[in-house]
Chains A and B, each alone.
Chain A
Amino acid sequence: GESVGLHLPTLSVQEGDNSIINCAYSNSASDYFIWYKQESGKGPQFIIDIRSNMDKRQGQRVTVLLNKTVKHLSLQIAATQPGDSAVYFCAEHSQPRDDKIIFGKGTRLHILP
């Protein structure tokens, strides 16, 4: 899910299908990760988090998977709805609740009718 140049990578998904958004994080010392959702004209909104002692965490319709071996994070959204259209950011802390988060550049999720 890293951006290239001025354009965000875009994932287009049919309404009702599952969405998987990927993120490669940079710091092997990071051990707390968050996914944010940003709708047009709004600030980023917390979706779900996961600590490095876990491989998977589930919320309502969302699941985050963490693979520390390859420094990869993914967000799965079940039964994608029109309201899921947004830009999704992964973020990492070098320690749990460190004073600064490092944000990825985001992936745009586009829902097809």
Chain B
Amino acid sequence: DAGITQSPRYKITETGRQVTLMCHQTWSHSYMFWYRQDLGHGLRLIYYSAAADITDKGEVPDGYVVSRSKTENFPLTLESATRSQTSVYFCASEGPNYGYTFGSGTRLTVV
């Protein structure tokens, strides 16, 4: 399927565990982004990537790690999950004309 896909859709993990959220796009867009969405804060940028092997911090990067070895994949890793990282995570890519295209999100609960 063409588009941007995130996995898993839902995830429950324990405090202190490492967890990786996957993001895959089929268009070969250069820019990709990770946002978290929380009540009262809207969408906040965690990390973004301008191309393969180029990543940069966003507004709330602490506790997260990203990599971009291939243009189409942009995984987000929580190295040691905390309850404050319970959130809905959205991946997005930037197309040439139509702003960002978002995935369907991953709802992560840290217990």
Contact = CB atoms under 8 A, between A and B. Distances in A.
B104 interface: yes
Interface string B19-59: 00000000000010100000111110100101000000010
A44 B45 contact: no
Contacts of B50: 99
Q: Tell me what chain A mostly uses at the interface: helix, strand, loop, or mixed.
A: loop
B42 A106 contact: yes
B66 to A, nearest CB: 15
Interface string B75-106: 00000000000000010101000111111110
Contact of B100 (A5, A6, A101): A101
A101 B105 CA distance: 18
A96 to B, nearest CB: 11
Given A34-B99, A97-B94, A100-B45, A42 B39 contact: no
